[in-house]
């Protein structure tokens, strides 16, 4: 092929120029506009021309310059992940990023990550993205029922997807773990094990998730006819404090015989405290936790858990977001992830 002369000549060093539309135009003898049009699938072009361009582009290894495209079209081809600082779910960040990475593989999208240091600054982050059009779409996690970030992006009509539902009237894309099912499954399981008093240990009350779990928990315990108890506001506690709670709990005369824990970090500390006081979890009382990492099953192979697949969530969130960016209706971009029970014995 005639392209040899060029593709063969670009070794290392100062000689190798970047391959642009211009390069392809020169190689094919067509004009810049034609090449550009062709590459974007212009239907008014002769099939022969389109083939010629496609071939040259491939031979030369052409990849559109992001800056050029962005300047001209405003499209950044960037997806931004706002990374919450919480570490309740072990390995959450890594899996989420891997999931997103998996979904954008082979697409023109890149991923930029914006770590969040303080929750109350999250509005600034979104404001910055909105003002500077620094991404085509945003993924947020740890969503609240009246999340300011969601409100801002709805108002600005900016593409985003939330990991978690909201209470806003205007529909928006989301993907969420089905916390209600989680709570129901857990309560039923504990009831079937003969538990009479079940305690829900739960953290971050700023998330929608929190409310969904609490509501479903009350409903499920009422239906099963067992006593319900809630230990809330545990998100700020240190592992040591959580451990202490386990110890104190074990000492109670009227202690719960079933526990549901929504966080891996807290499960570890809590179980640590319970065990230290001599109780055997799985015999003296039962515990079900929400599992996101592979660590806890290693640690407590005998404990029941209900799994949320964060990698899959990342992939799904990205799929929804990309569709949204392409203009799909928000209503059609709302999906739920079914909790996956892992019952032992």
Partner DNA sequence: ATTCAGAATTGCAACGTTGCATAACATGTG
Partner DNA sequence: CACATGTTATGCAACGTTGCAATTCTGAAT
| Residue 236, token pair as written in the block | 């700020």
Q: What's phi and psi for 240, nearest 5 deg?
A: -65, -45
Alpha helices by DSSP H, listed for the chain, are 4-7, 21-28, 32-39, 47-60, 66-73, 92-104, 122-132, 148-155, 179-192, 208-224, 239-251, 264-276, 295-299, 310-325
**Of these, 131, 254, 278, 331, which contacts a second copy (CB under 8 A)?**
131
CA-CA distance, 114 to 83, in Å (whole number)? 6
Closest to DNA by CB, 49 vs 275, is 49
Computed from CA positions of residues 67, 71, 73, 76, in that sequence, does the dihedral angle turn out positive or negative?
positive
Binding partner of residue 282 among a second copy, DNA, none, CB cut-off 5 to 8 Å per kind: none
- Alpha carbon separation from 14 to 8, 65, 109 (Å, rounded): 15, 19, 29
CB of 205 to a second copy, least distance (A): 22
Cβ closer to DNA: 62 or 174?
62
30 binds DNA (CB under 7 A): yes
Q: Which is nearer to DNA, 60 or 123 (CB)?
A: 60
Please identify, using beta-carbon distances, which residue of 133 and 342 lies nearer to DNA: 133
Cα–Cα dist 243/273, whole Å: 4
Of DNA, a second copy, none, which one does residue 290 interact with (CB within 5 to 8 Å by kind)? none
Candidates 92, 88, 120; CA nearest to 239 is 88
For residue 177, the surrounding DSSP H or E stretch is strand 174-177
194 binds, among a second copy, DNA, none (CB under 5 to 8 A by kind): none
Contact string (CB under 7 A) for DNA, positions 51-90, x = contact? -----------x-xx-xxx-xxx-----------------
**Beta-strand relationship, 137-140 and 110-115:** unpaired
**Which window, 29-37, 45-53, 268-276, 279-287, contacts a second copy (CB under 8 A)?**
268-276
**Binding status of residue 42 toward DNA by CB under 7 A:** yes
Interface segment toward a second copy; rule CB under 8 A; list 83-91, 179-187, 198-206, 332-340: 83-91
- Write out the residues near a second copy by the rule CB under 8 A: 12, 18, 61, 63, 65-68, 70-71, 76, 78, 83, 85, 87, 90-94, 97-98, 100-102, 110-115, 117, 131-134, 155-156, 239-240, 243, 265, 268-269, 272, 293-295, 297-299, 301
């Amino acid at each position: 092929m005639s392209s040899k002369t060029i593709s063969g000549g670009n070794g290392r060093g100062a000689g190798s120029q970047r391959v642009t539309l211009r390069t392809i135009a020169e190689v094919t003898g067509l004009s810049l506009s034609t090449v550009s049009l062709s590459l974007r699938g212009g239907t008014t072009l002769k099939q022969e021309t389109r083939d010629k361009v496609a071939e040259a582009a491939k031979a030369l290894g052409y990849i559109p310059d992001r800056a050029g495209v962005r300047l001209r079209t405003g499209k950044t081809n960037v997806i931004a992940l706002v990374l919450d600082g919480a570490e309740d779910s072990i390995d959450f960040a890594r899996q989420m990023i891997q999931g997103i990475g998996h979904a954008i593989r082979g697409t023109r999208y890149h991923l930029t990550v914006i770590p969040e240091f303080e929750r109350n600054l999250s509005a600034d982050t979104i404001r910055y993205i909105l003002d500077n059009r620094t991404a085509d779409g945003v993924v947020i996690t740890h969503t609240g029922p009246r999340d300011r970030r969601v409100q801002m992006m709805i108002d600005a009509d900016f593409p985003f997807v939330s990991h978690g539902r909201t209470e806003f009237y205007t529909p928006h894309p989301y993907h969420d773990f089905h916390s209600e099912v989680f709570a129901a499954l857990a309560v039923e399981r504990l009831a079937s094990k003969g538990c009479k008093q079940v305690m829900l240990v739960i953290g971050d009350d700023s998330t929608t998730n929190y409310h969904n779990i609490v509501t479903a928990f009350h409903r499920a315990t009422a239906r099963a006819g067992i006593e319900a108890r809630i230990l809330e506001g545990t998100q700020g506690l240190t592992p040591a404090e959580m451990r202490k709670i386990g110890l104190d709990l074990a000492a109670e005369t009227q202690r719960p015989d079933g526990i549901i824990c929504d966080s891996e970090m807290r499960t570890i500390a809590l179980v640590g405290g319970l065990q230290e006081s001599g109780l055997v979890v799985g015999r003296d009382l039962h515990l079900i936790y929400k599992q996101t990492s592979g660590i806890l099953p290693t640690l407590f192979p005998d404990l029941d858990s209900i799994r949320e697949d964060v990698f899959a969530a990342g992939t799904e969130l990205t799929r929804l977001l990309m569709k949204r960016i392409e203009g799909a209706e928000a209503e059609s971009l709302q999906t739920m992830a079914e909790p996956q029970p892992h019952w032992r014995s």
